[in-house]
Chains A and B, each alone.
Chain A
């Protein structure tokens, strides 16, 4: 059994493979004790190899497991996962808890990538933070925003300033759904620019937790001019793609050695 563990800022995902097929996929919030969360996810499992990815990838060396442990970056992991499920993929977009990444692929390999700078502008954290202003759980924020019409322009993508801007728009009497839609548009505008910088080609695979947000997906399709399901592909569990890619990395090595 091979296990892939994606230790992100917001959540930790585990995917296990047996003979190259997904055997299990689990997820827990990261919390302030990610090591304990990793143990909970691995409970009862004895993988032969464990591959860590994500922001906390090096934590796997601290778990003290007796299996073989290695790491890859989340950029490579998401690319591997996306190319596995959609071999025709040319671009991958991953919006996670605190980072946004865009990658162009050729034959399943990363050609070029972009990643946001040190701040969390336009990431899952941005959505979570601004959803808090509306007192809505982040999972419901997308559907809520989709009810909005004539969204006001949100000029700041800085998480803290965007909150200030949303608050003053509310004070001006703008409808909250419209403001929420404006916030989603701000994210998509930034993301589309990043995609263009790496050289956007379809099909694009959208991964990471934010791919679960229907409003971001819808606005993205409108912004970059692709059709969802044909040009823009979302895996069934977009947040598990990092862990899947990590496990696949080891699986590919094994199959290459077996030949």
Chain B
């Protein structure tokens, strides 16, 4: 973790320096235990380690430098917010802090106690002045993907400028029309914020940049089907997490390099765990940095994670935007269509998610699935029952885990996960 080199910058961002130093210290130790302790790690992981060590440092400096040149920073919490549009307006689009307990008690002043850890965390990070991304954002984009979030953004707007997109909850024609109108409304809001008029040419470029990022992540997903597993689930999760923070062009190049290394590894039959190690797919709620508890427990229990069916995983990379559109109208349609494919648990019905999990589990050759729901996350908790039923029909064992960001249940999680792994061995 960085020394005091960024203190001046953080002070200008009105962050709580003392509390933030404490957070970085804990994060650094946590990262050391969970990541740096891994054996037989990839060379390409140096990039991950560097980005993470500078996630609140150099990357924030890049944002500040861009802002000094007149560019805007847009922050969001959800894969529904169309980043193509932000890029087309020359803005920088970043994911915001939401993966730690920091500030959660403060958050209970604005949202009820029995709110999911993710929501409490993003509100807590803002209230405790701990997230340089929130403090750097010129606009924060929320969305209505669950009741908890949609009400939380009302409260959040009181402490940070929040723009909310209405995500529909069905996949009907009318819902698609609503979503398209929301994409257009977002485009206008971004144009107003940046003072840039989005042209077909700029939007085409935005689509290409993000499709390239998705193609690199898709390549990683495919390579993880190899046995023995060429990369740990922890590192792959980190790749997915960093995709929300780092510059998309740099990220794409680095992940393609990492994939080259993985291909060479697969060629040699090398892996991060022996060939007979049980392979698990993680499915369910997103895991924002530094929410590494479950992957760490899983991979310390004699299993390896070979895929993430989550917003920080395949839900964010599985579908591309059709690149054949030439006019602005065609491209907006293509963007609206692509985002409507997202199988978020907020949709009703949401049959396609069940199909996608079953086929992903087979594609990555998973022996079992761990379904992860955050406590008080109704949409994913409900779907865990349906996913279980569907996977049973496919003969794929599933373990359902409901937890939050605290460490108090680690021992019980270990017992469950080890017992699940024992049933697969």
Q: State whether B415 touches A55 (Cβ < 8 A).
A: yes
Residues of B within 8 A of A111 (CB): 423
- 1/0 per position for A118-132, CB-CB distance to B under 8 A? 100000000000000
In the bound assembly, the distance between CA atoms of A118 and B418 in angstroms comes to: 16
Residues of A within 8 A of B37 (CB): none
Asked whether any CB of chain A lies closer than 8 Å to the CB of B201, the reply is no
- Find B412's partner among A76, A99, A109, A112 (CB 8 Å cutoff): A99
Q: State whether A117 touches B412 (Cβ < 8 A).
A: yes
A44 to chain B, nearest CB (A): 31
B: number of interface residues (CB 8 Å): 13
Residues of B within 8 A of A72 (CB): 422
- 1/0 per position for A219-230, CB-CB distance to B under 8 A? 000000000000
Asked whether any CB of chain A lies closer than 8 Å to the CB of B8, the reply is no
- 1/0 per position for B366-409, CB-CB distance to A under 8 A? 00000000000000000000000000000001000010000011
Asked whether any CB of chain A lies closer than 8 Å to the CB of B26, the reply is no
In the bound assembly, the distance between CA atoms of A72 and B420 in angstroms comes to: 11
Asked whether any CB of chain B lies closer than 8 Å to the CB of A206, the reply is no
- Find B423's partner among A99, A110, A118 (CB 8 Å cutoff): A110
Residues of B within 8 A of A73 (CB): 415, 418-419, 422
- Find A118's partner among B408, B419, B420 (CB 8 Å cutoff): B408
Asked whether any CB of chain B lies closer than 8 Å to the CB of A141, the reply is no
Known interface pairs A118-B408, A118-B409; A74-B423 also in contact (CB < 8 Å)? no
Asked whether any CB of chain A lies closer than 8 Å to the CB of B219, the reply is no
Asked whether any CB of chain A lies closer than 8 Å to the CB of B411, the reply is yes
Q: State whether B412 touches A75 (Cβ < 8 A).
A: no
Q: State whether A118 touches B415 (Cβ < 8 A).
A: no
Q: State whether B415 touches A75 (Cβ < 8 A).
A: yes
Q: State whether A74 touches B409 (Cβ < 8 A).
A: no
In the bound assembly, the distance between CA atoms of A73 and B397 in angstroms comes to: 18
In the bound assembly, the distance between CA atoms of A67 and B83 in angstroms comes to: 59
Asked whether any CB of chain B lies closer than 8 Å to the CB of A133, the reply is no
A231 to chain B, nearest CB (A): 24
Residues of A within 8 A of B422 (CB): 72-73, 75-76, 110
| CB closest residue in chain B, given A113 | B419
Q: How large is the interface on A (under 10, 10 to 19, 20 to 34, 35 or more residues)?
A: 10 to 19
The dominant DSSP class at the A interface is mixed
Q: State whether B409 touches A109 (Cβ < 8 A).
A: no
Q: State whether A115 touches B418 (Cβ < 8 A).
A: no
Q: State whether A74 touches B412 (Cβ < 8 A).
A: no
B32 to chain A, nearest CB (A): 21
- 1/0 per position for B92-135, CB-CB distance to A under 8 A? 00000000000000000000000000000000000000000000
Residues of A within 8 A of B411 (CB): 55
Known interface pairs A118-B408, A118-B409; A110-B415 also in contact (CB < 8 Å)? no
Asked whether any CB of chain A lies closer than 8 Å to the CB of B41, the reply is no
State which residues 68-84 of B face A: CB under 8 Å: none
Known interface pairs A109-B423, A110-B423, A111-B423; A74-B415 also in contact (CB < 8 Å)? yes
In the bound assembly, the distance between CA atoms of A115 and B411 in angstroms comes to: 13
Residues of B within 8 A of A75 (CB): 415, 419, 422
| CB closest residue in chain A, given B301 | A73
The dominant DSSP class at the B interface is helix
Residues of A within 8 A of B420 (CB): 113
Residues of B within 8 A of A76 (CB): 419, 422-423
In the bound assembly, the distance between CA atoms of A113 and B411 in angstroms comes to: 17
- 1/0 per position for A154-166, CB-CB distance to B under 8 A? 0000000000000
Asked whether any CB of chain A lies closer than 8 Å to the CB of B416, the reply is yes
Interface centre among B408, B411, B412, B419 (most CB of A within 10 A): B419
In the bound assembly, the distance between CA atoms of A110 and B419 in angstroms comes to: 9
| CB closest residue in chain B, given A110 | B423
In the bound assembly, the distance between CA atoms of A111 and B420 in angstroms comes to: 9
Residues of B within 8 A of A115 (CB): 412, 415-416, 419
A122 to chain B, nearest CB (A): 15
Residues of A within 8 A of B409 (CB): 117-118
Residues of A within 8 A of B419 (CB): 73, 75-76, 110, 113, 115
Interface centre among B397, B409, B411, B422 (most CB of A within 10 A): B422
A51 to chain B, nearest CB (A): 13
| CB closest residue in chain A, given B417 | A73
Residues of B within 8 A of A112 (CB): 397
Residues of A within 8 A of B418 (CB): 73
Residues of A within 8 A of B412 (CB): 99, 115, 117-118
B101 to chain A, nearest CB (A): 15
A211 to chain B, nearest CB (A): 20
In the bound assembly, the distance between CA atoms of A233 and B351 in angstroms comes to: 42
In the bound assembly, the distance between CA atoms of A88 and B244 in angstroms comes to: 53
In the bound assembly, the distance between CA atoms of A117 and B406 in angstroms comes to: 14
In the bound assembly, the distance between CA atoms of A76 and B421 in angstroms comes to: 10
A199 to chain B, nearest CB (A): 10
- 1/0 per position for A24-57, CB-CB distance to B under 8 A? 0000000000000000000000000000000100
| CB closest residue in chain A, given B422 | A76
| CB closest residue in chain A, given B402 | A117
A106 to chain B, nearest CB (A): 10
Residues of A within 8 A of B397 (CB): 112
B391 to chain A, nearest CB (A): 12
B424 to chain A, nearest CB (A): 10
In the bound assembly, the distance between CA atoms of A117 and B422 in angstroms comes to: 20
In the bound assembly, the distance between CA atoms of A72 and B422 in angstroms comes to: 8
The interface of chain A, by Cβ under 8 A from chain B, is 55, 72-76, 99, 109-113, 115, 117-118
A-B contact pairs, 8 of them (CB 8 A): A55-B411, A73-B419, A75-B415, A76-B423, A110-B422, A117-B402, A117-B412, A118-B412
Q: Which 9 A-B pairs have the closest CB atoms?
A: A75-B419, A73-B419, A118-B409, A76-B422, A73-B418, A110-B423, A73-B415, A115-B416, A118-B412
